[in-house]
Amino acid sequence: MKKRIIFATNNKNKMTEIRQILDDPDWEILSMREAGIELDIEENGTTFEENALIKAQAVSAYCDEIVLADDSGLEIDYLNREPGVYSARYGGRDTSYEIKNQMLLDRLQGVPRERRTARFVCAIAAVVPGRDPMVVRGTIEGYIGEKPAGENGFGYDPIFYVEDLNCSTAELSPEEKNARSHRGNALRMIRKKLEAI
């Protein structure tokens, strides 16, 4: 029987990647909206893991299915790991990513390559009815480039450059990004845990 999973996110770009990464004939993945659940969840945790659990548990209260949630963001070492858990809110939720990315580039102006290190982090929480909640973390290491590049991906992808490729994650194909991304790594980890149940 197909495993029905509800993904507690309102972010369409995340949902696209999640469907590509968890492409499995044994799983039926529904977005919150497809499951008929509309919630505005306050993400008041201080870590990615806490926020992922807050979102998964909030949605789990409204259904009997397995619920997964993604909390993710960009940590820039030179900025004391900002924007971090505030990545979606940085510069204002409704501000375009063209502007948010430029704001970050401006704050790094003149900073040399070796001090521009950064990573994307993704915590995935899983709430399975009758079991203890689970949470995993995936990361991808890189650095903030001198200028935005690429048209793929979303959010901070145009300014995040992959360490060994020297191109931004917005210049990678979806398959290339998912194979090495924070979200790809975290989702593959949680899939293993769910398959073991």
Of the candidates 122, 134, 119, the one whose C-alpha atom is nearest the C-alpha of residue 183 is 122
Give the Å distances, CA to CA, from 123 to 30, 148, 151, 163, 183: 19, 25, 25, 21, 8
The answer to the question of residue 143 lying near ligand ITT (CB under 6 A) is: no
Q: Nearest distance from residue 8's CB to ligand ITT, in Å?
A: 7
- Backbone φ and ψ for 136, nearest 5 degrees, come out as -130, 160
Q: Is 133 left (phi over 0), alpha (psi -120 to 50) or beta?
A: beta
Catalytic annotation on 64? no
CB of 160 to ligand ITT, least distance (A): 7
9 binds ligand ITT (CB under 6 A): yes
Q: 4, 10, 81, 91: which one contacts ligand ITT (CB under 6 A)? A: 10
Give the span between the Cα atoms of 127 and 118, in whole angstroms: 30
Q: Is 98 helix (H, G, I), strand (E, B) or coil?
A: helix
Q: Is 150 among the residues that bind ligand ITT (CB under 6 A)?
A: no
Catalytic residue among 24, 64, 70, 71: 71
Q: Does 119 bind ligand ITT (CB under 6 A)?
A: no
Q: Which residues between 26 and 85 bind ligand ITT (CB under 6 A)?
A: 43, 70-74
CB of 100 to ligand ITT, least distance (A): 8
Residue of 67, 116, 128, 156 that binds ligand ITT (CB under 6 A): 156
Among 65, 75, 157, 171, binds ligand ITT (CB under 6 A): 157
- 88 near ligand ITT (CB under 6 A): yes
Between the alpha carbon of residue 156 and those of residues 15, 29, 91, 98, 193, the distances in Å are 16, 25, 13, 9, 29
User: Could you tell me how far CA 158 lies from the centroid of its own chain?
Assistant: 15
Candidates 5, 35, 67, 120: give the one binding ligand ITT (CB under 6 A). 120
What element of type H or E holds 102? helix 97-107
Report the catalytic residues. 71
- Residues found near ligand ITT in the complex (CB under 6 A): 9-11, 14, 43, 70-74, 87-88, 120, 153-157, 181, 183
